[in-house]
Amino acid sequence: MVMMTDDLISRRAAIDAICKDCVFIDDCCEDNSERCEDYVILRDLPPAEPERKKGEWIPCSETLPKSWGKYLTTVKFHSQNLIWFLYYTDNLEKVDKFKFKGETRPAWYRYDTEYGHLETIGVVTAWMPLPKPYEE
């Protein structure tokens, strides 16, 4: 049995790694999948995360960002859906230990030059990572 780490790799890369060290090297696992226990386990696992295309909105009900950063968000404010650039943190107190003292929960926030860090108004319903800058 091949030992796996918690690193997120593609299912294809995992299958390729198993097949590379397979005892059925002359008779590929994929063609005889029932003979290879590791292949069957990987083949039948559900995806770790839904497959997404770049630029596709990620509903907050499905998942939140895994790290602090700036994201493009859809915010429901009153009866409108607005698009805002917001920051996300897994610990609001780390953003501003005086303003958010004791607030160790995850949150979306923005920065205002007059008022400093502010938790967002409205409800963030979806988000996406920012694209890489254009390069010529």
Could you tell me if 40 and 65 lie in one domain? no
Residues 121 and 87 in one domain: yes
Would you state the pLDDT for residue 29? 54
Close Cβ partners of 96 (under 8 Å, ≥ 6 residues apart): 116, 117
**What is the DSSP secondary structure assignment for residue 122, as one 8-state letter?**
S
DSSP per-residue letters across 7-38: ----HHHHHHHHHHT-TTTTS-TTTTGGG-HH
Query: Under a CB-based contact definition with an 8 Å cutoff, are residues 79 and 96 in contact?
Result: no
pLDDT value, residue 8: 52
**Given this model, what pLDDT does residue 70 score?**
94
Residue at 24 is within a domain: yes
Our count of domains for the chain comes to: 2
- pLDDT at position 50 is 58
- pLDDT 10s per residue in the chain (136 long)? 444 444 455 666 766 666 666 665 555 555 555 556 666 666 666 665 556 667 789 999 999 998 899 999 999 999 899 999 999 999 999 998 888 999 889 999 999 899 888 888 899 999 999 988 899 8
Beta strands in the chain (DSSP E): 58-59, 69-77, 80-89, 107-112, 116-119, 123-129
53: in domain: no
Q: Are residues 65 and 25 in the same domain?
A: no
The answer to whether 68 and 54 are in contact (CB under 8 A) is: no
Q: Are residues 118 and 62 in the same domain?
A: yes
Judgement on whether residues 35 and 76 belong to the same structural domain of the protein? no
The model scores a pTM over 0.85: no
Provide the domain limits for residue 112: 58-129
Which of helix, strand or coil describes residue 77?
A: strand
Residue 4 counted as domain residue:
no
